[in-house]
A and B are shown apart, each in its own frame.
Chain A
Amino acid sequence: MPIRWENYPVSGVYDELIAADGRPRRAARQLSQYLASFTDQDLRERQAAAELAIRAMGVTFTVYSEEGGIDRAWPFDIIPRVIAAVEWRRVKAGLKQRVTALNCFINDVYGAQRIIKDKIFPQALLADSGNFRSQCMGATPRHGIWAHICGTDLIRDLDGTIYVLEDNLRVPSGVSYMLENRLVTKRVFPELFQHHHIAPVDGYPSRLFDMLASLSPRQGHPPTMVVLTPGIYNSAYFEHSFLAQQAGVELVEGRDLVVADDDCVYLRTVDGLERVDVIYRRIDDLFLDPEVFRADSAIGVRGLMRAWRKGNVALANAPGAGVADDKVVYAFVPDMIRYYLSEEPIIPNVPTHVCIDKQQCEYVLAHLDQLVVKPANESGGNGMLMGPQSTRKQRSEFASRIKKNPRNYVAQPALRLSTAPTLCSSRLEPRHLDLRPFVLSGGNGYVTPGGLTRVALKRGSLVVNSSQGGGSKDTWVVDDEDV
């Protein structure tokens, strides 16, 4: 039976493809019409073709178990998520603006700390930020850029407004899946690409290469660049190896690198030592260098920080860049944009109440049943209070936690995440999703057209994480202006 969009259950949320009246949005019109010509059998066949392609391409992510890591095939939904090019232009400008301001902020807090002296950003927040690295004070990375690769999570609320949910400035992952998703979709729906103006995404690896090359301390000399991975047991190892291959650089582990007595970093090769210029590191700050951070790190490189501080090697992202992705610091990003760039933020933050501010804290305590409360330094949804679904007991428990340590809490209104049609056992049903575009900053900048759309495959679920039953979709930025 063909899909009848008027029967597609859009209810009480914003759907990315289908408007509330059951009619496709303008940019999604062609795709929706095309899908409407499909039978259930057609859809099943395409999904099977996609699964086959994913297996053949070896796209996996690693799930830990007691027996060690197991590679699982990447869960992928064949129905693309569509964004109109005209909307994307605004989002792209907003992302550039935001990442520029974030880099100004990081460069400032490890330098003159003007933003603190000017009383825009409280000193106290910096002092007990879990991701502030005092060892980075005074460092001067090239171009003043610290967060070279940023993955910013965007969500859309009921009224269609796009918000920034969080900035990932340490080692954001997912870009390889964005690239593979497009390859799979091209194999599954080749006919659609003939009739759509879909922005290509496959330029990313060479943009990444160019950006990394712009960081090399030996400009004018062909740079030696590497991706530094914790190893095959890391859940993102597939991505590390994929990016190294695609960008044409070496994939290395800590034991492949050595810092010599000239404070330069070298690769151990069969021909002896070879100087390294740029390291795209996919290892957390604290494991980078046992000389400076965790002494028990077996995956880092002794002396790496020495080499970096001297400017003998570039690290992307720079150590300490994570200072700006604390959930409390997040609340100050709009102020940073105003302060450093004298501009108004193009993409809004989710309205965030920081409990360290007395007035805001009182508001939070009075409205706990309507808010989502998040601890500052936890990730993956740990230790959160979902106000509307909470019990009286949970709320009073949180109230006392907040009073005890207000710095550690922020609160946001509960947003209604947007949905898009997703294939659920041969029917299309709405499922919640978010979007992670990737922003490159260095000698020049780049924003991926679209990004990685993550989708919660369980009905009603808001959890898009792949380790917890989330999947992903290809994301199309469609130019519909001449359609």
Chain B
Amino acid sequence: MLLSRVAETVYWMARYVERAEDTARIVLTHTNLVLDLPRQIRLGWASLLTITGSDEEFYTRFDNPTEERVVRFLVADPKNPSSVLSSLASAREDLRTTRAVVPRAAWEALDDGYRFAQGQAALGISRRGRYDYLRRIIEHAQLLTGLLDGTMSHDRAYDFLCMGRALERADMMTRLMDAGASNLSPAGSDDTEAFEDTQWMGVLRSVSAYQMYRRHVQVRVTGPQVLAFLLQDKEFPRSVLHSLERLEECLRGYGRSEAVLHILERAREMVSEANTRRLASEGLHEFMDSMQVVLGDLHDVLSTTYFRAEEPLRASVAA
């Protein structure tokens, strides 16, 4: 038996942890990119706000998106509800209310991670300390994921936890690809071509996918191939398709799942039918946007089905 409230809380807990991890990865990717690119290509920081969907939140409080400001906003700003720090704080609060279903060690790991993120925030914003800080955040999140996988019963609460993680990961993956590619000038321009490889390698590295890509794709790193790998690869655990299939697995054995499965199928079709060759040169941002809309729909229907089902309050339902 699983309470709807508990299901929703662990679902969000997993989403927040994944969001913290992936936001850290996005900032890390962008920072590396800035370091790699030659001086004549000026890379702004404003695009990170668009990618993470936080333009409005940012510009109501600030006007000039400087590196320092954007990084602080995305990493350590307690007033930004989706900063790394806020995400960890929300995850911690969620875990606090569901300690009965989650192993104690997981609570301790998350608590440690949050305390680290909070205590060392100044380090995370500085360019010098950023790499180590964000790596540590990512490691904390990975540790928690591992602890849950290895010590929590794979029960219904775990199903919802995995659903939350899968959905957030798919969503953040689309944003991350967007982040890695959106700064490229149109293909073919002399200045940029030479750096394309560097840039796509950076994207792969940011999701720890470089080695797996090399092992499984066996062609040189190119935009279309990287997009195909991160969108459509069945085996790589951070690819969008993999996350969608994970979600579907979790739903197995649940009644009333038709509406969810329907949207899931739509999302899967979009991913499978994506023409990555074309997306590598144009329309990537729009495509990722529309993916995010479908993933949002998926969340909505999941919520209404399992978290706040307004059933007819009749005794017959109990059977």
- Give bound CA distance, A270 to B2, whole Å: 6
B5–A274 touching, CB < 8 Å: no
B315–A260 touching, CB < 8 Å: yes
| A58-B107, A241-B100, A262-B315 known; A272+B3 contact, CB < 8 A | no
| A250-B3, A252-B3 known; A268+B100 contact, CB < 8 A | no
Q: Which 3 A-B pairs have the closest CB atoms?
A: A262-B315, A260-B313, A268-B4
B3–A256 touching, CB < 8 Å: yes
Tell which of B5, B96, B255 touches A253, judged by Cβ atoms closer than 8 Å. Answer: B5
* Residues in A neighbouring B156, C-beta threshold 8 A: 270
Q: Is B116 an interface residue (CB 8 A)?
A: no
- Give bound CA distance, A245 to B306, whole Å: 24
| A58-B104, A232-B97, A268-B309 known; A274+B318 contact, CB < 8 A | yes
B313–A270 touching, CB < 8 Å: no
Q: Is A258 an interface residue (CB 8 A)?
A: yes
A272–B317 touching, CB < 8 Å: yes
**A residues with CB within 8 A of B:** 58, 224, 231-232, 241, 244-245, 250-253, 255-256, 258-262, 264, 266-275
Q: Main SS of the interface on chain B?
A: helix
A270–B160 touching, CB < 8 Å: yes
- Give bound CA distance, A340 to B2, whole Å: 45
Mark out the residues of chain B between 1 and 52 whose CB falls within 8 Å of any chain A CB in the assembled complex.
1-5, 7
- Give bound CA distance, A268 to B2, whole Å: 9
Q: Told that A256-B5, A271-B1 touch, could you supply 19 new A-B pairs with CB distance under 8 A?
A: A241-B99, A252-B3, A252-B5, A253-B5, A256-B4, A259-B313, A260-B315, A260-B317, A261-B314, A262-B315, A266-B313, A266-B317, A267-B3, A269-B4, A271-B2, A273-B311, A273-B317, A273-B318, A274-B1
Tell which of A58, A241, A255, A275 touches B318, judged by Cβ atoms closer than 8 Å. Answer: A275
* Residues in B neighbouring A272, C-beta threshold 8 A: 255, 309, 311, 317
- Give bound CA distance, A264 to B309, whole Å: 18
Instruction: Tell me the smallest distance from the CB of B160 to a CB of chain A, in Å.
Output: 7
A269–B315 touching, CB < 8 Å: no
Instruction: Tell me the smallest distance from the CB of A12 to a CB of chain B, in Å.
Output: 46
Instruction: Tell me the smallest distance from the CB of B276 to a CB of chain A, in Å.
Output: 36
Instruction: Tell me the smallest distance from the CB of B257 to a CB of chain A, in Å.
Output: 11
| A58-B107, A250-B1, A253-B5 known; A273+B313 contact, CB < 8 A | yes
- Give bound CA distance, A251 to B311, whole Å: 22
Instruction: Tell me the smallest distance from the CB of B50 to a CB of chain A, in Å.
Output: 34
- Give bound CA distance, A231 to B5, whole Å: 12
A255–B306 touching, CB < 8 Å: no
- Give bound CA distance, A244 to B3, whole Å: 14
- What residue of chain A has the Cβ atom nearest to residue B157's Cβ? A270
Mark out the residues of chain B between 94 and 116 whose CB falls within 8 Å of any chain A CB in the assembled complex.
96-97, 99-100, 104, 107
* Residues in B neighbouring A58, C-beta threshold 8 A: 104, 107
Total interface residues on B, CB under 8 Å, equals 25
- Give bound CA distance, A272 to B317, whole Å: 7
- Give bound CA distance, A112 to B162, whole Å: 57
Tell which of A231, A232, A260, A269 touches B314, judged by Cβ atoms closer than 8 Å. Answer: A260
A270–B318 touching, CB < 8 Å: no
- Give bound CA distance, A250 to B156, whole Å: 14
- Give bound CA distance, A11 to B300, whole Å: 69
- What residue of chain A has the Cβ atom nearest to residue B2's Cβ? A270
A266–B318 touching, CB < 8 Å: yes
- What residue of chain A has the Cβ atom nearest to residue B107's Cβ? A58
- What residue of chain B has the Cβ atom nearest to residue A71's Cβ? B96
Q: Mark B67-109, 1 if CB is under 8 A from A, else 0.
A: 0000000000000000000000000000011011000100100
B317–A270 touching, CB < 8 Å: no
* Residues in A neighbouring B107, C-beta threshold 8 A: 58
* Residues in B neighbouring A264, C-beta threshold 8 A: 315, 318
- Give bound CA distance, A256 to B2, whole Å: 11
- Give bound CA distance, A253 to B7, whole Å: 14
Task: Pull 30 A–B residue pairs with CB atoms less than 8 Å apart, ordered by A.
Answer: A241-B99, A245-B100, A251-B100, A252-B3, A253-B5, A255-B5, A256-B3, A256-B5, A260-B315, A261-B313, A262-B315, A264-B315, A266-B317, A266-B318, A268-B4, A268-B309, A269-B3, A270-B2, A270-B3, A270-B4, A270-B160, A270-B254, A271-B1, A271-B2, A271-B255, A272-B255, A272-B317, A273-B317, A273-B318, A275-B318
Instruction: Tell me the smallest distance from the CB of B131 to a CB of chain A, in Å.
Output: 32
* Residues in B neighbouring A260, C-beta threshold 8 A: 313-315, 317-318
- What residue of chain A has the Cβ atom nearest to residue B160's Cβ? A270
B5–A270 touching, CB < 8 Å: no
* Residues in A neighbouring B96, C-beta threshold 8 A: 232
B1–A269 touching, CB < 8 Å: yes
A270–B314 touching, CB < 8 Å: no
Instruction: Tell me the smallest distance from the CB of B319 to a CB of chain A, in Å.
Output: 10
Tell which of B1, B104, B315 touches A267, judged by Cβ atoms closer than 8 Å. Answer: B1
- Give bound CA distance, A417 to B104, whole Å: 39
- Give bound CA distance, A244 to B1, whole Å: 14
| A58-B107, A232-B96, A241-B100 known; A268+B5 contact, CB < 8 A | yes
- Give bound CA distance, A58 to B309, whole Å: 34
* Residues in B neighbouring A231, C-beta threshold 8 A: 97
* Residues in B neighbouring A252, C-beta threshold 8 A: 3, 5
| A256-B5, A262-B314 known; A270+B306 contact, CB < 8 A | yes
- What residue of chain A has the Cβ atom nearest to residue B3's Cβ? A256
- Give bound CA distance, A260 to B5, whole Å: 18
Instruction: Tell me the smallest distance from the CB of A54 to a CB of chain B, in Å.
Output: 14
Mark out the residues of chain B between 232 and 278 whose CB falls within 8 Å of any chain A CB in the assembled complex.
254-255
* Residues in A neighbouring B314, C-beta threshold 8 A: 260-262
B2–A269 touching, CB < 8 Å: yes
B318–A258 touching, CB < 8 Å: no
- Give bound CA distance, A268 to B100, whole Å: 17
Instruction: Tell me the smallest distance from the CB of B11 to a CB of chain A, in Å.
Output: 10
Mark out the residues of chain B between 259 and 317 whose CB falls within 8 Å of any chain A CB in the assembled complex.
306-307, 309, 311, 313-315, 317
- Give bound CA distance, A259 to B314, whole Å: 9
* Residues in A neighbouring B307, C-beta threshold 8 A: 270
